[in-house]
């Protein structure tokens, strides 16, 4: 079978929608991640993703325009858009970029939680306040997005009835954050070597 006869066969009627479906998954997921990069202030990566995103979209829409009678292509286009949005959300969740602000409001004494946050090298700000049912403490801490599950689990362990909210942080100046594991290990290794030399 030569190339022309392949084009005339029914096989291409399904190859084209599949191409459009996959192209839409790629460009929409990239678009979702690009918007997240913009929100996080990643000024170099966002335009690069935008370039590739639009290039893939042009390829997909070009095929639609050339095959207006192929109704399956329309379904593939819409399905790819829906699945691409889902894939983009999953990618963003896996990347876990940026910082978030935890605002914790509790009526209980919060020393245990505060000490745990400090032991993990998170900055902590505690403010006494008045809630609807009496005095409360408001605890503010900024953590990396990937640390949300660990901090949320600790809050639940400390006080299952504590109210807390998590908000995106666009920019921070100064602050106290845990050292990356590899960096902290290198630092402790250097300090140990210095201590040995001093003996």
Over residues 94-143, the pLDDT tens digits come to: 877 778 899 999 988 788 888 999 888 888 999 999 888 889 999 999 99
Whether the predicted pLDDT of 71 surpasses 50: yes
Cβ atoms of 142 and 123 closer than 8 Å: yes
Q: Which residue has the higher pLDDT, 94 or 155?
A: 155
Whether the predicted pLDDT of 185 surpasses 70: no
**41 shares its domain with 88:** yes
Whether the predicted pLDDT of 199 surpasses 80: no
Element (H, E) at 107: none
**133 shares its domain with 112:** yes
Asked, for residue 180, whether it belongs to a domain, the answer is no
Whether the predicted pLDDT of 173 surpasses 80: no
Of the candidates 97, 86, 148, 96, the one whose C-alpha atom is nearest the C-alpha of residue 122 is: 148
CA atoms of 99 and 169, how far apart (whole Å)? 5
Whether the predicted pLDDT of 182 surpasses 50: no
- Give the pLDDT confidence score for residue 180 in this predicted structure: 58
Give the number of domains in the chain: 2
Q: Could you tell me how many helices (H) and strands (E) the chain has, helices first?
A: 7, 4
CA atoms of 88 and 194, how far apart (whole Å)? 47
**149 shares its domain with 162:** yes
CA atoms of 178 and 173, how far apart (whole Å)? 15
Asked, for residue 156, whether it belongs to a domain, the answer is yes
The whole domain housing 158 covers: 99-169
**91 shares its domain with 127:** no
Average pLDDT over residues 33-43: 82
**How high is the mean pLDDT of the chain?**
80
- Give the pLDDT confidence score for residue 190 in this predicted structure: 52
Whether the predicted pLDDT of 86 surpasses 90: yes
- Give the pLDDT confidence score for residue 188 in this predicted structure: 46
Of the candidates 160, 166, 159, 126, the one whose C-alpha atom is nearest the C-alpha of residue 144 is: 166
**138 shares its domain with 113:** yes
Asked, for residue 177, whether it belongs to a domain, the answer is no
- Give the pLDDT confidence score for residue 6 in this predicted structure: 47
Average pLDDT over residues 11-31: 86
Asked, for residue 134, whether it belongs to a domain, the answer is yes
């Amino acid at each position: 079978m030569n190339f022309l006869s392949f084009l005339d066969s029914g096989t291409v009627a399904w190859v084209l929608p599949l191409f459009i479906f996959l192209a839409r998954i790629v460009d929409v997921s990239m678009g979702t991640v690009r918007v997240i990069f913009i929100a996080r202030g990643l000024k170099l990566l966002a335009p690069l993703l935008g370039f590739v995103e639009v290039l893939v979209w042009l390829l997909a829409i070009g095929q639609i325009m050339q095959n207006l009678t192929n109704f399956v292509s329309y379904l593939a286009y819409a399905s790819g858009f829906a699945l691409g949005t889902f894939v983009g959300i999953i990618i963003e969740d896996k990347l876990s970029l940026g910082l978030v602000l935890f605002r914790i409001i509790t009526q209980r004494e919060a020393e245990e939680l505060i000490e745990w946050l400090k032991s993990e090298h998170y900055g902590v700000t505690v403010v006494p306040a008045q809630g609807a049912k009496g005095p409360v403490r408001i605890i503010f801490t900024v953590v990396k997005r990937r640390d949300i599950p660990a901090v949320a689990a600790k809050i639940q362990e400390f006080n299952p009835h504590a109210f807390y909210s998590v908000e995106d942080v666009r920019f921070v100046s100064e602050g106290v954050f845990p050292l990356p594991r590899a960096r902290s290990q290198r630092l402790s290794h250097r300090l140990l070597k210095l201590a040995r030399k001093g003996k």
